[in-house]
Structure 1
């Protein structure tokens, strides 16, 4: 899937992503400010999460429950210095739980990512729109 969108179209884009049936381990790549967290917030909303969502930059992981009792984990590994920090927090338990795992800055834990995953890359375009690729 590849789509160019503006932020006012983010709800439609989130629904298109979910309609593609991506793997529940979903990696988000893009430079800082590209809109990774904004997209994750909308995906959470589209999955039925009513609670406020935010980036887990300091806590590393936030946990949310959907209306139909699914669990969604949102990771932000930007602040990690070593993969062992993720192991110390029990990242394996999360990644192999069968629940949704939205992961920002996954390049910080390359050897810990399960083989079965999907990748979303977001590129900020000069006109302010975003180019999103899902593989």
Structure 2
């Protein structure tokens, strides 16, 4: 990247309010979801693959909603499960996850909702709102 472009990008990033930038997802590793649930947190789980177009669209919608409303980040822990790595692991099998591009919201022992392959903002927002 040329220095002038880097400085311009850094200047623009500095002007964006911190709350307008969505927090990152926690990358799944065994025990991460259970630990958050045991701490009393609500967990939004995104089962996705890096090559999946539907997953990329879902991620853009999720990030836009998180940027628009910081309440989501204070109310939930967002976890991304790599489908290629964990599709036959208990994190997917135990919850009967049918495919990549599945989104679920968990609280305690309960699944509050699920979206499978849905990409509409209203559908994903409704799921995220269940976690509030």
TM over 0.5: no
Larger Rg: 2
Question: Could you say which structure has the greater relative contact order, defined with CA pairs below 8 angstroms and 6 or more residues apart?
Answer: 1
More helix by share: 2
Q: What is the TM-score normalised by the length of structure 1?
A: 0.31
Output the TM-score relative to the length of structure 2.
0.31
More strand as a share of residues: 1
